[in-house]
């Protein structure tokens, strides 16, 4: 299996190198450069490799989750915790943090629900950042006092 993967990677590498040499010059107008066949094929290769990476990550991640009941339990606890944080963040967000009339005057169309969702995602970020910091600091403090 590893030999097949290595051969496929070598083929993509050689193909990418050939396409790279065929890229349009700097002097070419952007409109024409975007329609270049070599650039389009390079984007196609990029999307293929990205799709392979995403599918492999999903496959092996789900395989590990369902490999044992304990792994499934930990995953469900993590997803449930994330949902709890999202619900708390939604109710903490007000949606009135921004003057909507001033935004409309600047040409930015925004509604109160949009501002509330942005506030919710910022709250999620802040809560998860605090949890990550505590998860790093607390074991260090415990080790310091246990010695």
Average pLDDT over the chain reads 86
Residue 120 domain boundaries:
69-146
Sequence-ordered list of residues with C-beta below 8 angstroms from that of 96, at least 6 positions apart, any chain:
112, 115
- pLDDT above 70 (res 2): yes
Percent of the chain with pLDDT over 90: 31
The residue out of 65, 92, 114 marking a domain boundary is: 65
Distance between CA 83 and CA 130 in Å, rounded?
16
In terms of Cα–Cα distance, which of 68, 132, 133, 120 is closest to 94? 120
What per-residue confidence (pLDDT) applies to 30?
A: 75
Report the number of distinct structural domains present in the chain: 2
pTM of the model: 0.59
Segment 67-99, tens digit of pLDDT: 888 888 998 999 999 999 999 999 998 877 777
Q: Are residues 25 and 76 in the same domain?
A: no
């Amino acid at each position: 299996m590893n030999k097949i993967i290595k051969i496929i990677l070598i083929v993509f590498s050689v193909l990418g190198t050939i396409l790279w040499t065929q890229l349009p010059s700097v002097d070419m107008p952007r409109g024409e450069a975007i329609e270049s066949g070599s650039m389009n094929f390079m984007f196609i290769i990029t999307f293929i490799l990205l799709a392979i990476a995403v599918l492999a990550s999903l496959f092996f991640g789900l395989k590990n989750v369902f490999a044992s009941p304990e792994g499934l339990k930990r995953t469900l606890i993590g997803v449930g915790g994330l949902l709890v944080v999202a619900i708390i963040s939604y109710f903490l967000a007000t949606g009135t943090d921004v003057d909507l009339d001033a935004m409309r005057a600047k040409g930015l169309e925004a509604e109160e629900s949009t501002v509330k969702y942005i506030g919710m995602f910022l709250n999620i970020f802040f809560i998860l950042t605090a949890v990550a910091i505590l998860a790093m600091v607390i074991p260090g403090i415990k080790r310091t006092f246990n010695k």
